[in-house]
Amino acid sequence: MPAGRVSRLLRFGGIASGIAGGVAAGGLRALAQGKRPDMGQLLLTPANTLRLTTGLSHLRGAALKLGQMLSMDTGVVLPEEVTAILARMREDARHMPPKQLQTVLNAEWGPGWHSRFARFEPRPFAAASIGQVHRATLPDGRALAIKVQYPGVRASIDSDVENIATLLRLPGILPRGMDLAPLLTEAKRQLHAEADYMAEAQNLSHFGALVAGSDRFLVPSLQADLCTPQVLAMGYVDSVPLDTLVDAPQELRNRVAAALIDLVLRELFVFGAMQTDPNLANYRYQPATGRIVLLDFGAVQQVAPNLAADFRALLDAALDGGAEATRAAMLRIGYFALDTAPQHQTLIQSMFHTAMGPLRQDTPFDFGQSDLLQRLRTMGLAIGAERDLTHVPPAATLFLHRKIGGMYLMAAKLRARIALRPMVEPYRDENPKLCAFAPSDRHHED
How many residues belong to the chain? 446
- CB-CB neighbours of 69 under 10 Å: 26
Q: Distance from first CA to last CA of the chain, Å, rounded?
A: 43
In this structure, what are the phi and psi dihedrals at residue 289, rounded to the nearest 5 degrees? -115, -15
> What gap in Å lies between CA 379 and CA 347, rounded to an integer?
8
In this structure, what are the phi and psi dihedrals at residue 160, rounded to the nearest 5 degrees? -60, -45
User: Cβ(287)–Cβ(313) under 8 Å?
Assistant: no
Q: Which residues on neighbouring strands pair with residue 417, listed in sequence order?
A: 366
In this structure, what are the phi and psi dihedrals at residue 210, rounded to the nearest 5 degrees? -65, -35
- CB-CB neighbours of 380 under 10 Å: 19
> What gap in Å lies between CA 315 and CA 313, rounded to an integer?
5
How many Å separate Cα 51 from the centre of its chain?
23
The DSSP element (H or E) to which 120 belongs, if any, is strand 119-120
User: Closest Cα partner for 373 from 426, 318, 325, 410?
Assistant: 410
The DSSP element (H or E) to which 419 belongs, if any, is none
- CB-CB neighbours of 35 under 10 Å: 10
Strands 131-137 and 119-120: what pairing?
A: antiparallel
Q: Which residues on neighbouring strands pair with residue 149, listed in sequence order?
A: 131
> What gap in Å lies between CA 400 and CA 406, rounded to an integer?
10
Residues acting as catalytic residues: 277
| DSSP letter assigned to residue 141 | S
Torsion sign (Cα): 182, 328, 408, 173: negative
